[in-house]
Amino acid sequence: MTLWYNNSVKIKSIHQVKNLANKNVLVRADFNVPIKGGKILDNYKIKKSLATIKFLIEKRAKVILVSHLGRPALPYGGQGGPNGLDKKLSLKPVAIELGKFLQKTVSLLDVTNLAKHKIKLESLLPGAVVMLENIRFLAGEEANSEKLSKELAGLADIFVLDGFAVAHRKSASVCGVVKYLPAYAGLLLEAEIAGLNRALKSPRKPLVVVLGGAKIETKMPVLKNLLKTASYVLLGGGLVNTYLWAKGKKVGVSLINKNFKKDALRFCGKSKVILPVDVIVGAPDGRFAKAVDVNDLNIPPPRRGAASEAAKNINLGIFDIGPKTIKLFARYIKKSQTLVWNGAVGFFEQHPYEYGTYSMARLMAARSRGKAFGIAGGGETIEVLKKLRLLDDVDLASTGGGSMLEYLSGNKLPGMQSLMK
């Protein structure tokens, strides 16, 4: 399979390496998973990484995994644990969980002195898997340190970027190490790029995009870029609120971004953009919720000086799309041949504002896997699909929130640049 990046440049795949036997392969994965009390709450990212790891094991390579977990406050974690490392951000639970899936021990190696591991790595048997401790325990990781990049490269013969979720980061384990090692895309990265290209390069039409979420600054570039190829963009979340406000509607405490007034007026009103015809207006805590036609929107401005939470919750705003809009969006989704969803269309964490987002999830799942090629991505989007047990009903559930947005926006991903042929 030929893999393309940004629709025009071929990238190198690990499939192209003829002989991996007895080679040390450094794999940048994404094991940034939720952990509480030493227990993993969601192992989805770990399971998604198995394809590349098992492929390398079958090819008799020696696998060295590198990942980050959370954001340590200081270099070396700053508090607690051996060598000053923060035990709460240790990858030990991940190594144990991965070992269960692989049915073998995955040793965890500290990162305070990477050079000392060279002899141990050379003595590993083909098919062995080890994991470096949280790479963000080292200040050089996020600084894209040349010193750390060289140290990581010194452990391996080949580098594989498999974590699509980190491909947009300029860090030593993503961008720096590739200056010193031959670099290739892993199987997970391949699958995600190939899937996204089906929406960007040569989608089956109609291409319908459902775009929501709270971070207007990240969604506006996606809207601008996808308007070039999309048949329709169904809009929800902060973008809609900002557009309605920009048009002169009184939106109360609705989430808006005043910095995007001009962009909202310019792009959200395009003929391809399908806007809500009704919205759910209520208090932040879910009280007073009711459907309101967008033409009748006249939400009072927030009351000033509301010190208590109870007083604040008297203020009203837009927190979901309405029932008429759900039916409207359903008509477009049911006609789609390619379907992309990124971002909740409402404040789904608070009842009763989950109905719009849950409806999008069910429509997405029902249309994917045969009727249309369905792509879902973004933390909230994946969270909802998991909660409703619909994740397996989508053709591609992207592990990359920020990376997916950058890619859909047409921006270059620093980690991908090194994989170009």
The per-residue DSSP string of 168-229 comes to T---IIIIIGGGTS-EEE-HHHHHHHHHHHHHHTSPPSSEEEEE--S-HHHHHHHHHHHTTT
The β-bridge partners of 250 are: 298
Q: Which residue spans within 322-378 are E strands per DSSP?
A: 338-342, 373-377
Statement to judge: residues 138 and 219 lie in one domain = no
Q: 99-119 in b/e burial notation, b at 16+ Cβ within 10 A?
A: beebeeebebbbbeebeebee
| Boundary of a domain, candidates 158, 189, 220 | 189
In which element (H, E) is residue 24 found? strand 24-28
Long-range contacts of 291-296 (CB under 8 A, 24+ apart): 291/322, 291/323, 291/324, 292/322, 293/324, 294/244, 294/249
Report yes or no on 420 lying in a domain: no
Report yes or no on 61 lying in a domain: yes
pLDDT digits (tens, 9 = 90+) for 274-301: 999 999 999 999 999 999 999 999 998 8
The tokens describing 241, both together, are 């609120």
Mean pLDDT, rounded, for 258-269: 93
State the total domains in the chain. 2
Q: What are phi and psi of 273, to 5 degrees?
A: -85, 125
- Give me the pLDDT at residue 75, please: 55
Whether the pLDDT of residue 86 is over 90: the answer is no
Mean pLDDT, rounded, for 341-355: 95
Report yes or no on 413 lying in a domain: no
The tokens describing 13, both together, are 């795949």
CATH code of 329's domain: 3.40.50.1260
Statement to judge: residues 176 and 297 lie in one domain = no
C-beta separation of 181 from 418 below 8 A: no
- Give me the pLDDT at residue 1, please: 47
Statement to judge: residues 348 and 223 lie in one domain = yes
Statement to judge: residues 16 and 118 lie in one domain = yes
Statement to judge: residues 332 and 213 lie in one domain = yes
Report yes or no on 322 lying in a domain: yes
Report yes or no on 421 lying in a domain: no
Mean pLDDT, rounded, for 122-148: 92
- Give me the pLDDT at residue 263, please: 93
pLDDT: is 10 or 115 the higher one?
115
Range of the structural domain that residue 205 is part of: 196-408
pLDDT digits (tens, 9 = 90+) for 155-164: 999 999 999 8
Report yes or no on 415 lying in a domain: no
| Boundary of a domain, candidates 135, 159, 189 | 189
Statement to judge: residues 140 and 283 lie in one domain = no
Statement to judge: residues 170 and 241 lie in one domain = no
Region class of 188: left (phi > 0), else alpha (psi between -120 and 50), else beta: alpha
Mean pLDDT check: name the lowest of 120-129, 194-203, 278-287, 380-389. Answer: 194-203
Statement to judge: residues 22 and 133 lie in one domain = yes
pLDDT digits (tens, 9 = 90+) for 62-77: 999 999 998 887 655 4
- Give me the pLDDT at residue 305, please: 59
pLDDT: is 81 or 123 the higher one?
123
Whether the pLDDT of residue 83 is over 50: the answer is no
The tokens describing 109, both together, are 């190696």
Q: How confident is the model at residue 139 (pLDDT cuts 50, 70, 90)?
A: confident
Statement to judge: residues 68 and 172 lie in one domain = yes
Statement to judge: residues 28 and 46 lie in one domain = yes
Report yes or no on 265 lying in a domain: yes
Statement to judge: residues 104 and 251 lie in one domain = no
Please tell me the pTM assigned to this model. 0.84
| Boundary of a domain, candidates 135, 161, 189 | 189
- Give me the pLDDT at residue 313, please: 59
pLDDT digits (tens, 9 = 90+) for 177-192: 999 999 999 999 998 8
- Give me the pLDDT at residue 88, please: 86
Nearest CA to 151 out of 141, 161, 163, 165 is that of 141
Statement to judge: residues 206 and 181 lie in one domain = no
Report yes or no on 398 lying in a domain: yes
